[in-house]
Structure 1
Amino acid sequence: MKMPLIPTLIAAAAYTFAFTSCDSRQEEVREDSLENKADNLEQKADAVRKDGEAAADATENAADRVRNQAKDAIDTEKETAEARADAAEENADTIRKAAEQKADALEEEADANREAK
């Protein structure tokens, strides 16, 4: 007795789909590895932001101390202190921007790892 052609093809396609649709262990390990790497990169980005903010805050606090110490100084010393304080605040802004850019780059790398799955 000969089996009908169409049911045989449907069954073959179903079996093929069932076996190929499941991720292999190696594929699951690869995806887990990419996910873990992405998570680590995001944690690193958070740490970079936190450290950058702390450094910028410390620089701004130093600028404030310079300004406070210069209150009782003579005019030329005040100008010098103001210039140093302004430079310190600009440096704090630069620190924040650099930290943000580095953190953004890390997050973009994390996103790329997740998309590679």
Structure 2
Amino acid sequence: MKLIVKAAAVGLAVLALGACNKHTAAADNVVANTDAVADNIVAAADNKADNITAAASNKADAVRAAGENKAAVIDNMAKSGNTSTATTNTTTTTTKKK
């Protein structure tokens, strides 16, 4: 998506450059405004992608931390000799082939 938006912005810029010195001042103003809009679209896409990446990274870090915490609990139970509850939370899933 980000690449498509950038390609569209580049396309608009190329069209604007190709039209240099062929417009009235009012038309040049329209081109400048559309360039600004295209730049804003690209910036918004970049920001959204950055936010999605940051959120995914934060979620992954939380999952890793939860796994480390669970492992620490299991290790502590094993050290204290209480291994019975450490294995009761496991789930086995089997899939039968048809």
Moved over 3 A (4+): none
Q: Secondary structure at the match of 1:73?
A: coil
Higher share in helix? 1
Amino acid at match of 1:114: R
State the 1:69 CA deviation: 3.5
Matched, 1:67 2:16: yes
State the identity %. 15
Distance 1:55 1:108 in 2: 27
Map of 1:27-106 to 2, 5 A cutoff?
51-52=1-2, 54-71=3-20, 72-106=22-56
CA RMSD of aligned residues (A): 1.7
Q: Which has the larger radius of gyration?
A: 1
Query: Which runs of 5 or more residues in structure 1 are unaligned?
Result: 1-50
User: Structure 2 length normalisation: TM-score?
Assistant: 0.58
Query: Which runs of 5 or more residues in structure 2 are unaligned?
Result: 68-98
Amino acid at match of 1:88: A
Contact 1:55–1:92 (CA under 8 A) maintained in structure 2: no
User: Structure 1 length normalisation: TM-score?
Assistant: 0.50
